[in-house]
Chains A and B, each alone.
Chain A
Amino acid sequence: MTAAMIEAIGLHKSFGATHALAGLDFDVKEGTILCVLGPNGAGKTTAVRILTTLTRPDAGTATVAGIDVQRHPAEVRNKIGVAGQYAALDELLTGRENLEMVGRLYRVPPADVRRRANELIEHFELTDAADRIVKNYSGGMRRRLDLGAALMAEPPVIFLDEPTTGLDPKGRLSMWDLIEELAREGTTVLMTTQYLEEADRLADDIVVIDHGRAIARGTALELKQQVGGERLEVTISDAPYLDAARRVLAALGEGQAHVDVEARHVSVAVASHDGVLTRAIRELDAAGVHVDDIGFRRPTLDAVFLSLTGRPAEEKVEVEA
């Protein structure tokens, strides 16, 4: 079960003077989730469009389920399901009509189309809305229906382009559950996201891309170690106690504690939450340190970007806007 179900080698794509992809490589093993992480304009969507036969690369090759996407696009389409950021659904059709139409176009036998649509409607909690036209659906319902359409033919490979962008926390959680379930059942998933938290929760592997190129790859844990992982951060009231605070934190966490004199900040990398906060407060108190603020700081996509590229993730967006 270690065959690469998706493979991209040296993908290049330019739109006019813009280099959307500049030599992107990655592969996804069967039954795993790969998250392609990057800011807006990094090339995530272009990569997905090439792998799903929607766009031709200028150079490089890509295979899905061992099939070359440029040479045999029709065969690739038999193996994939695609759900996108701009959920491509027919607004004037009902949810059920959308699913059944896509099912028939996937060449699913007519008897199975009906059964499969019913299953998905029930499973994705769309029963009440199934016979209403999609125009009146909420964002979360659209995304679930969009994913349902991608699953009509039970394809072995699924592509999800920013499946949770714009969803509220509840919608995001229910989407995450559905994606995890897919991978558990053996589907290979490639998804793009702007959220480190999402990649952390779902991905077996993560590729961080910027300017159309992979700038880091690995598991969530490996990336976090690269960035420095989670930190316990304390702001104290009186600067003279900074050294005492540093000693307490150094003993609790891993490695050196970092001190910012001007901001009266002390921070240290921590491996787990297990009782750390309680112990920190107790021991700081015992050392006579007055605490203004204390808490865990998780590394964000910004932190990953800052550490990998030395600039914030949002920079490119501002340049483009």
Chain B
Amino acid sequence: MSGFGWWLRDSWEMVVRNLIHIKRTPELLLDVTLSPIMFVLLFSFVFGGAINVGNEGGEEGSYINFLMAGIFVQTVAFAGIYTGVLLANDLQKGMIDRFRSLPMSQSSVLTGRTLTDLLRAMLAIAIMWVVGMLVGFRPEGGILGNAAAIGLMLLFGFAFSWVGVAAGALVRTPEALQGIVFAAVFPLTFVSSAFVPTASMPDWLRVFAENQPMTLVVNAVRDLTLGTNVYDAELPSVLWSVGILVVGFPLGLWLYNRRTTQ
């Protein structure tokens, strides 16, 4: 078998291991099941009446239509960073030493991890889609538009999971990373178009909010799912996602190698 073939097989081996973990500790799925459901319900019922989203909410101009893209992207981004928490956990428990003493493809530990989190992101999107539709989400973007939106979300989430790998390789404990996630990712999602239109923000904040990757991806997903053409963010959002992946992948790999070889 070629090097690439072994890499695929070892990565799959790691995915299977991660899926067994999920099967035996289902609470590992809370962040991609219960949390996004709560976000959908809380935001739509609590903020829904107070926020006027205008044409950004599709034909109906409803808040739930506006909100779903934001929740989708926030969830895949968080799930991506959570990759780092699970990696830090492995690093702490010595399992990585076992893997590193084996003649396996070493990077497959990481690809196995990020591919598993891609599956987790798919599950999260499916659950949110259903819950969203139950409370009024109407994705009128057609099969092509919605498929493109899902593809973009997964690409963004996958890119983010490599940022998670880099972060996981840097921290000493998984708990430390949990803290960093809240300090870094929350501002990124709140200072964006995820939950409210950016138009009402003060100018200095709006400049950042409208140009940061989270907003661009949210806007593109919003246009694609609702079948609108408000933002024209598709190209920049793809470029940002690919850019994050192109930087995050080698960075994650390098930091992981540095961490594990001392």
Given A56-B262, A93-B17, A105-B10, are A88 and B98 also a contact pair (CB < 8 Å)?
yes
B13 interface neighbour in A74, A88, A105, Cβ under 8 Å: A105
CB proximity of A196 to chain B, nearest CB, Å: 27
B104 interface neighbour in A54, A56, A91, A105, Cβ under 8 Å: A105
Q: In the complex, are the beta carbons of A107 and B103 less than 8 A apart?
A: yes
**Secondary structure of the B contact surface, majority rule:** helix
Residues of B within 8 Å of A56, CB to CB, are: 261-262
Q: In the complex, are the beta carbons of B101 and A53 less than 8 A apart?
A: yes
Q: Which one, B20-28, B75-83, B119-127, B241-249, is touching chain A?
A: B20-28
Q: In the complex, are the beta carbons of A77 and B103 less than 8 A apart?
A: yes
Q: What is the size category of the interface that chain B forms with chain A? A: 20 to 34
B98 interface neighbour in A55, A75, A78, A102, Cβ under 8 Å: A102
CB proximity of A137 to chain B, nearest CB, Å: 15
- By CB atoms of chain B within 10 A, which of A88, A93, A97, A149 has the most? A88
Residue B95, interface by CB 8 Å: yes
Residue B172, interface by CB 8 Å: no
Residue B99, interface by CB 8 Å: yes
Q: In the complex, are the beta carbons of A106 and B97 less than 8 A apart?
A: no
B20 interface neighbour in A53, A93, A102, A107, Cβ under 8 Å: A93
A101 to B104, CA, bound (A): 11
Q: Can you name the residue of chain A whose Cβ is closest to the Cβ of B12?
A: A104
* Contacting residues of chain B (1-35) with chain A, CB-CB under 8 angstroms: 6, 9-10, 13, 17, 20-21, 24-25
- By CB atoms of chain B within 10 A, which of A92, A93, A106 has the most? A92
Q: Which one, A26-34, A79-87, A291-299, A304-312, is touching chain B?
A: A79-87
Q: In the complex, are the beta carbons of A107 and B6 less than 8 A apart?
A: yes
Given A105-B104, A149-B98, are A90 and B262 also a contact pair (CB < 8 Å)?
no
Q: In the complex, are the beta carbons of A84 and B94 less than 8 A apart?
A: yes
Residue B134, interface by CB 8 Å: no
Residues of B within 8 Å of A55, CB to CB, are: 261-262
Q: In the complex, are the beta carbons of B95 and A90 less than 8 A apart?
A: yes
Q: In the complex, are the beta carbons of A104 and B101 less than 8 A apart?
A: no
CB proximity of A274 to chain B, nearest CB, Å: 46
A89 to B90, CA, bound (A): 11
Residue A227, interface by CB 8 Å: no
Given A55-B262, A93-B17, A101-B13, are A77 and B94 also a contact pair (CB < 8 Å)?
no
Residues of A within 8 Å of B46, CB to CB, are: none
Residues of A within 8 Å of B262, CB to CB, are: 15, 55-56
Q: In the complex, are the beta carbons of A105 and B97 less than 8 A apart?
A: no
A86 interface neighbour in B13, B21, B94, B102, Cβ under 8 Å: B94
Q: In the complex, are the beta carbons of A104 and B97 less than 8 A apart?
A: no
Other CB < 8 Å A-B pairs besides A78-B103, A93-B20, 11 of them?
A52-B101, A53-B101, A55-B261, A56-B261, A84-B94, A88-B95, A89-B95, A90-B17, A102-B102, A106-B102, A106-B103
Considering the complex of A and B, which 7 residue pairs feature the smallest CB-CB distances, nearest first? Answer: A88-B98, A77-B103, A105-B104, A88-B94, A82-B101, A78-B103, A105-B102
Can you report 27 A-B residue pairs in the complex whose CB atoms are below 8 A from each other?
Answer: A53-B100, A53-B101, A54-B97, A54-B100, A54-B101, A54-B261, A55-B261, A55-B262, A56-B262, A74-B103, A77-B102, A82-B97, A84-B97, A88-B93, A88-B97, A88-B98, A90-B17, A92-B21, A92-B24, A92-B25, A93-B20, A104-B13, A106-B103, A107-B6, A107-B103, A107-B104, A133-B24
